[in-house]
Structure 1
C-alpha cells in the first residue's frame, strides 16, 4: 500500500488525467464572451457542444460558473477567481506547443501579456506596434494595468510577462532594465492666477491639485518627495490614469505633477504651461520588469529589445521644452 503522501500525489495525477484541456478552452471562451452561442463561435463548435461543456465544467468545479442575466451570462465569484489562472494555463500550454527554442518572430503566433499604464501605452505602443507589424505580424499583445503592488504579484504569478513602470519594489526574482530617463514637472493652466509663483513651495502646496495614483500606497512622482520634506499637498482629485489630466488642468485652477515625457506633448496645447516643481529629486527612470523565469526565453528577449528600441526616441527626456521659471 502506498504511503499517505504518495497516495495524495497519485490521486492528483489520476484527477489530472481525467481533465479534458478543451474544457479550459471552453471556459476561457465563455468568460470572454459571457454568452454560450458566441463562445461556441469563438471556439469553432456548435452551441449544443458548448452547452455540454458548460455542464461538465459546472460539475468539475462544483459551481454554476456563469448564471443567466438578461441576454447574457454573469460569472460567479468562483469563475472570476478562475479566469486569470485559466488564461495563464492556456497561454503556457500554447507556448509549450507552438514555440521552439529558436524563436522566429516572422512566423510566430505567440501572444504576450504586458502591464502598461495609459501613459506608457500612449508613449510606447505606437513605436512597438509599428515594429511588430514589420518584424512579427503574427505576434499579438494583451495589455493590462495594475497598481505597483499588483504588478509585482502579476509578474510573480506569470499573469503578465513584462511590465513597464517605475520605482517598483521588487524581490530578487524580478529582473529589470532601463527604458528611458524622465522627470516630473508641474502642469498648470497658462493663465492661472498663481502661474508666476508656482515654484514657491508654500504657494504650490496651497493650490488644489490632481493626484494620479494606482493604489493608496502609490506615492511616486510627488508625494514621496514632499513627505521627506515633512509637507503634503492639497489633493482635490485622485485619478487612476494620466490622459484626462491635461484637459482638467486646462479647464480649471487645479494643478498637477506629471512626467515630462507626456507633459511636453500636451504642452503643445497653448492652454497649459509647464513649470519646474518646487521640490528636489524630480528625476526618475522608466524600466522594464520581468520574472527571471523568462531570462532564457528567446521570444521574451526579442520583445524586450523591441520595446527598448521603441523607447529610443523618448530618452531625450525634456529636450526642446522650456519650463517657466518666473
Structure 2
C-alpha cells in the first residue's frame, strides 16, 4: 500500500466509466495530461495497456475491467469511511447518473425522471442506456451504471433489488376498428391481425407466452422493435397491438385510437429497481433511487 497512489485508481475508474480521457478529465476536474500521466503509471504498474482506442472511444482490456470493477466499489467505501458525517446536497452535485432501462419503460420513465432530477439537482446529468441482462451485475459493480430498471431477474446476492412497478397491459386499435363493432372477446382478439413488439428477431413476447399457456396463438403480421412504431402502425390500419397501458396513454394524442382491455388473463409485468450492495448506503445513489421511484409513480394525462 506504500507504493501505489490511490488517486490513479480514481483516474482508472473515471476513464473506464466515461470511455474517454477528455470526459474523464472533465469529470475529475483534471487536465488531460494528468489523466494520461496517471494511466501511464497504471500501465507500468500492471504491465497492461488497460485501454485500446476504437474510433472515438477507449475500450478497456480484461485487466482494466477487473481493476475498475473491484476498485470502484472499494473507493466508494473508502470515501464513506473517511467522511462519514458528510451531508449529501443534490443541489450542489454535478455528476452524471446512468440508468439502465429498456424500451418498454424508457419513453414513460425517463422524461419524468429528468424533470424530477432537474428540480433538485440542476447540475446533474442523466444518461439512459440499454444494459444486457447477462451483464447487469458487472455493470452495476463497476459503477458503469448506477441503477437498472428491468423485469424480475435472478441476480447474485451483491445485487439488491426492489419491486417498484406493476405494469398493466391493454389492446390498442384504431377508432372504428371492426373489433369494436362485434362482441369483444378472446375469439375476436384472435381473429385480428397483430403487431408484435420485440428487439429480438424471433421468439415469444410476454403476451404470446401467456396465450401459449392457454393453448392459443395470435396472427402476427408485423414484428417491430419499438412500441411507438407499433402504435403508429395500428393507428393507420386494421392491425391491433398489445402493449403497456402507460405507454399507450402517453402516445395517445386524439380519439384516433381506442384502448381496450386484454380479453384473457394476462396478469401484470413486475418491474424491479436494481443496484449494487456496495452503493446501498451511498447518499448519492440513495437519492437517485428515490428519484427513479418518484418518476415511476408519474402518470401522463389522458
Shift of 1:184: 0.5
Is the 2:234–2:240 Cα contact (8 Å) retained in structure 1?
Answer: yes
- Provide the residue aligned with 2:222 in structure 1: 237
Q: How does 1:158-169 map to 2 (within 5 A)?
A: 158-169=143-154
Tell me, in whole angstroms, the C-alpha distance in 1 between the residues paired with 2:141 and 2:183: 42
Aligned-residue Cα RMSD (Å) equals: 4.4
- Provide the residue aligned with 1:283 in structure 2: 268
Deviation sequence 1:231-252 (CA, Å, 0-9, x none):
2223333334323221121123
Tell me, in whole angstroms, the C-alpha distance in 2 between the residues paired with 1:152 and 1:46: 30
Higher RCO structure, 1 or 2 (CA under 8 Å, sep 6+): 2
Go from structure 1 to structure 2 and tell me whether the alpha carbon gap of 1:14 and 1:213 turns closer, same or farther (over 3 Å shift).
farther
Deviation sequence 1:243-276 (CA, Å, 0-9, x none):
3221121123322111111112323332221111
Unaligned runs of at least 5 residues, structure 1: 1-12, 322-326
Q: How does 1:42-61 map to 2 (within 5 A)?
A: 61=48
Is the 1:167–1:220 Cα contact (8 Å) retained in structure 2?
Answer: no
Shift of 1:86: 8.0
The structure whose Rg is larger is 1
- Provide the residue aligned with 2:128 in structure 1: 143
Query: Helix, strand or coil: the match of 1:222?
Result: helix
Say yes or no: does 1:66 pair with 2:36: no
Shift of 1:310: 2.6
Aligned residues: 294
- Provide the residue aligned with 1:252 in structure 2: 237
Between 1:110-119 and 1:55-64, the stretch displaced more is: 55-64
Go from structure 1 to structure 2 and tell me whether the alpha carbon gap of 1:228 and 1:200 turns closer, same or farther (over 3 Å shift).
same
Deviation sequence 1:138-163 (CA, Å, 0-9, x none):
33322212355554664466542312
Shift of 1:29: 9.5
Is the 2:11–2:35 Cα contact (8 Å) retained in structure 1?
Answer: no
Deviation sequence 1:217-243 (CA, Å, 0-9, x none):
985541221121122223333334323
Between 1:84-93 and 1:262-271, the stretch displaced more is: 84-93
Is the 2:96–2:125 Cα contact (8 Å) retained in structure 1?
Answer: yes
